[in-house]
Structure 1
Amino acid sequence: MSEMAFVPAIIFLVIVAPVWIIFHYLTKWRIAKTLSADDERMLSDLWHSASQMEDRIRQLEKILDAEAPGWRSKAS
């Protein structure tokens, strides 16, 4: 009777289990490859912050150019 259970167990371990494991990790990989809603929101916030900082830096450079014309050569 134990011989009858041995064959399905071997088939399961050789065919079913590897395919199951492969599909499991493929699904996990696909999920991890996409951005979640929180990640997209955070990326959007970071993009907005970077844009604001870029605008502020431009404004500061304009002010420095007007008030201290040689500041760029001193910074190098």
Structure 2
Amino acid sequence: MDLDALVAVPIIFMVIVAPVWIIAHYVTKWRVAKTLSVDDERMLSDLWHSATEMDSRIQQLEKILDAEAPGWRARQ
């Protein structure tokens, strides 16, 4: 083997193989990052449940305020 062949192999690797390899690696990472983990899904479910409860409480408080202080909305 001559020196040109020994130099050509690393150059071809760095120009063709390495960039494709790196791009494929990060595409895989981005696809995994798009999905929710089990903990993320649980946290989202808990937040949804809390928001539903808070909405119900706010509606009840507004009903109480409407009954006890009819003009409370105008005073804001």
- Structure 1 and Structure 2 fold alike (TM over 0.5): yes
In structure 2, the residue matched to 1:38 is 39
Q: Which has the higher helix share?
A: 1
1:16-55 alignment runs, 5 A limit: 16-55=17-56
In structure 1, the residue matched to 2:59 is 58
CA drift at 1:8: 1.0
Name the CA distance, whole Å, in 2 between partners of 1:67 and 1:4.
Answer: 91
- The list of structure 1 runs, each at least 4 consecutive aligned residues, that deviate by more than 4 angstroms after superposition, is none
Name the CA distance, whole Å, in 2 between partners of 1:55 and 1:65.
Answer: 15
SS of the residue 1:74 aligns to:
coil
Unmatched runs of 5 consecutive residues or more in structure 1: none
Name the CA distance, whole Å, in 2 between partners of 1:53 and 1:2.
Answer: 74
Name the CA distance, whole Å, in 1 between partners of 2:26 and 2:3.
Answer: 33
Deviations 1:19-68 (A, max 9, x none): 00000110111111111111111111001000000000000000001111
Unmatched runs of 5 consecutive residues or more in structure 2: none
**What's the Cα RMSD here?**
1.1
